[in-house]
Amino acid sequence: MNDTNTPDNLALASDKLLVPNGLELSDLRKTLDQVMTHRVDFADLYLQSIRRESWSLENSQVKAGSFNVDQGFGLRASELDQTAFAYSQQITHKRLSNAADSVRSIAGKGSSARMPLVETRMIDRPSYGTDDPLLGSSASANIALLEQVEQYARSADPRVTHVSATLELRHEMMMVMRHDGRLAADVRPLVLLFIRITVQHNGKREAATGGMGGRNGFLYFEASTLQIEVKRIVDSALINLDAIQAPSGQLPVVLASGWPGMLLHEAMGHGFEGDFNRTGSSIYSSKMGQSVAAPGVTIYDDATVPGSRGSLNIDDEGEPGQRTALIQKGVLRSYMHDDLNARLMKQRPTGNGRRQSYAHLPMPRMTNTFMEPGEYAPQEIIESVKRGVYLQDLGSGEVDIVSGQFCFQSALAWLIEDGKLTAPIRGATLTGSGPETLRHISMVGNDLALDRGLAMCGKAGQRVPVGVGQPTLKIDNLLVGGTAR
């Protein structure tokens, strides 16, 4: 059975990161020994190579194409909550030695015992393979895929006036060695196809977006699945042509399954990250074991979802990807931790130490965050609403990630009247507090779905791929902004 640190995985990373630079694993060990000449609580050396390719098509013309390679290392030493960090794009003996001298400035006095170097084997079932999407395609295949998107869109309806699509392919190899002897490596593919389609009829124009992505190879983009997604985007834009103005006021809101889970991710998920709770800046600080949501709410962060955009076989500190229960039946059960915050809070790391690249420090970040399904059929939830809003697709928004205050716009929404969807609405904004929203969830559907693989998450200037999801939800009371009453 394969795991994340099979000899092949470690060999792939070594061949890419060490061999071309004349380095061996023993050289990385020497670098950490140099750091540990004086004692520190924690030290690690992170090496990474990323290859990226991007193609964009707009109205039958290839507008942009790019390819780049980036590689380097980041060396960190931590003493209590103080951290020294150095990084370089050049993985050489000299740069490693200079970095070690620099980060030793944080070290305390005294010596630290040398730990044995052990290749860590903790994952029995990898969440994704090692297929390189860049090698699995070609320039002609990439362009053909984008042209296929346009063909599907224009054949779906004559009112389609504009089609743009962007294809992004990425292949990453990483290796991390820690002062405690842990050695881990991972190979991470990532693909994304983003689509925007505009329709026009009787002087009205509307646009809708969508796409698909995940930790897969190029063959992930099957024609049948792609055609279904393009048709969904076209239909969304056409529905909005007939949209009326959204109502306003305090109303019950039903959130559809899947992508609307981004609201939960942004408005609530960040509040469960360990750094905000260690410093006391999260509203969930000191509430472990307390009721923080409605009894029917169970939320997980799960890095082990096969092929999902936010999945990780190991995190960027060498911890295995894990499934962590954040809330169980309304009760707060765990925060998400990297090594630093887990150590200072006397907790176990949860495999949530993530960084944008070797040039960034890791911090607690979400992977795939979603709510578990409940017992209600989606139609039953809609039928329970006398007058309210059904949010089928979420648009852009703003969030205070500490307090959970949010304001999101709808991309596709409907008016609910007497338990039925009666008319599409435009201009609906949802405003509220994440913690309060969790308490006002009265019905949880049985139709859990994850997003289509497009999500990115920003925090402290770093962006990483994530996954979001939820079943259909009923929120009893949410402030809806619109112009109609």
CB contact set of 423 (below 8 Å; sequence gap of 6+): 242, 243, 244, 414, 415
Give the mean pLDDT of 319-325.
Answer: 96
pLDDT band at 4 (very low <50, low <70, confident <90, very high): very low
- pLDDT for 112 equals 41
Span 30-43, pLDDT tens digits: 999 999 887 788 99
Tell me: pLDDT of 482 over 90: no
- pLDDT for 483 equals 61
- pLDDT for 104 equals 83
pLDDT band at 124 (very low <50, low <70, confident <90, very high): low
Q: Where are the alpha helices (DSSP H) in 44-112?
A: 93-103
Span 141-189, pLDDT tens digits: 999 999 999 999 999 999 999 999 999 999 999 999 999 889 999 999 9
Identify which has the larger pLDDT, 206 or 11.
206
- pLDDT for 331 equals 98
Q: How many CA atoms lie within 13 A of 237 on its CB side?
A: 29
Tell me: pLDDT of 2 over 50: no
- pLDDT for 108 equals 56
What is the spatial distance between Cα 146 and Cα 193, in angstroms, rounded to a whole number? 9
Q: What is the DSSP string of 332-371?
A: E---B--HHHHHHTT----S-EE-SSTTS--EE--SEEEE
Which among 135, 178, 171 has a CA at the least distance from the CA of 48? 171
- Please name the amino acid found at residue 427: G
Tell me: pLDDT of 107 over 70: no
Which among 35, 46, 44 has a CA at the least distance from the CA of 100? 35
- pLDDT for 7 equals 47
Q: What is the DSSP string of 285-306?
A: TT-TTSB-S-TT--EEEETTST
What is the spatial distance between Cα 100 and Cα 431, in angstroms, rounded to a whole number? 48
pLDDT band at 221 (very low <50, low <70, confident <90, very high): very high
Tell me: pLDDT of 484 over 80: no
Tell me: pLDDT of 120 over 80: no
Percent of the chain's residues with pLDDT above 90 = 85
Span 41-93, pLDDT tens digits: 899 999 999 999 999 999 989 988 899 999 999 999 998 889 999 999 999 99
What is the spatial distance between Cα 363 and Cα 152, in angstroms, rounded to a whole number? 41
Most confident option among 110-114, 124-128, 213-217: 213-217
- pLDDT for 96 equals 97
- Please name the amino acid found at residue 406: F
Identify which has the larger pLDDT, 265 or 112.
265
Identify which has the larger pLDDT, 161 or 6.
161
Arithmetic mean of pLDDT over the chain: 92
Span 432-481, pLDDT tens digits: 999 999 999 999 999 999 999 999 999 999 999 999 999 999 999 999 99
- Which segments of 97-227 are extended strands (E)? 118-119, 160-178, 182-201, 204-214
Q: Are 12 and 173 in contact (CB under 8 A)?
A: yes
Calculate the alpha carbon distances from 126 to 132, 357, 450 in Å. 16, 22, 19
Calculate the alpha carbon distances from 228 to 26, 63, 194, 209, 210 in Å. 51, 25, 14, 13, 11
- pLDDT for 123 equals 54
Alpha carbon of residue 373 to chain centroid: 20
| Of the candidate ranges 97-111, 140-154, 199-213, the one whose mean pLDDT is the lowest | 97-111
Sequence ranges of the domains in the chain:
7-241, 244-481
- pLDDT for 402 equals 74
Partner residues linked to 44 by β-bridges: 76, 178
- pLDDT for 401 equals 75
Span 263-308, pLDDT tens digits: 989 888 999 999 999 999 999 999 999 999 999 999 999 999 999 9
Residue range 7-241 forms a domain whose CATH class is: alpha beta
